[in-house]
Amino acid sequence: MPKSWALGIALIALVGGAWLIGSRVREAGLAVREAPQPGYRAPGFSLRTLDGESLSLSDLQGRTVVLNFWATWCPPCRAEMPAFQRLYARYADRGLTVIGVNATLGDDLAAVFAFRQQYHLTFPILLDETGQVNRRYRVTALPTTFFIDSRGIIRDVVVGGPLSEAAIEARLSEILPAGNR
């Protein structure tokens, strides 16, 4: 066999091997980039809670996260909040965290406190006072909800609403670890 053939075959094997290794790494989630869309790692952030503490998405590593962007003046946001609260209460001890990211830049802080009390919300409400996290997640409409698996990968995004309890639960059934449903 001529040397050029041998080199060509070796090059093809090398490229094929690199492609195979790259696809295995992607499947394992080791080389997943951050982006606010399904199949990508959820972009990291840290915001202040209504209680004055700081919460980072990285604090929730290993948990399934429902990240809901909302505002008090948004009728669909109001309609879906009770469902988020019920599911949070049902699945919190099994690895679910619901996070409400309030679009505080265009909302009234006193109204956010009243909203939490009116809807008896026990999950964390984060205040996006500068709109930075809304921009980072490319939120163009409220509500917008991201479903993030326990590895931090966005599995689904729903723009608009209101989401019904059944619709939320159907999405959770795909991302909550099997023993946690």
The CATH number of whichever domain residue 81 belongs to comes to 3.40.30.10
Please check whether residues 101 and 116 belong to one and the same domain: yes
Total domains, the chain:
2
Can you give the pLDDT at residue 31? 59
Whole-number Å distance between alpha carbons of 106 and 26? 38
Residue-by-residue DSSP string for 38-104: TTSBPPP-EEEETTS-EEEGGGGTTSEEEEEEE-TT-HHHHHHHHHHHHHHHHHGGGTEEEEEEE-G
What tens-digit pLDDT sequence spans the chain (181 residues)?
Answer: 566 555 555 445 544 444 444 444 444 545 579 899 999 999 999 999 999 999 999 999 999 999 999 999 999 999 999 999 999 999 999 999 999 999 998 899 999 999 999 999 999 999 999 999 999 999 999 999 999 999 999 999 999 999 999 999 999 999 997 654 4
Please check whether residues 81 and 53 belong to one and the same domain: yes
Please check whether residues 24 and 107 belong to one and the same domain: no
Please check whether residues 17 and 101 belong to one and the same domain: no
Please check whether residues 82 and 149 belong to one and the same domain: yes
Please check whether residues 125 and 84 belong to one and the same domain: yes
- pTM, rounded to two decimals: 0.81
Please check whether residues 104 and 27 belong to one and the same domain: no
Amino acid at 176: L
Please check whether residues 78 and 105 belong to one and the same domain: yes
The residues pairing with 66 across neighbouring beta strands, listed in sequence order, are 98, 147
Tokens at 122, concatenated: 């026990």
For 48, the domain range is 33-180
Give the pairing of strands 144-148 and 64-70.
antiparallel
Please check whether residues 79 and 164 belong to one and the same domain: yes
Please check whether residues 71 and 135 belong to one and the same domain: yes
Please check whether residues 56 and 104 belong to one and the same domain: yes
Are 179 and 159 spatial neighbours (Cβ–Cβ below 8 Å)? Answer: no
Per DSSP, the three-state class of 23 is helix
Are 84 and 66 spatial neighbours (Cβ–Cβ below 8 Å)? Answer: yes
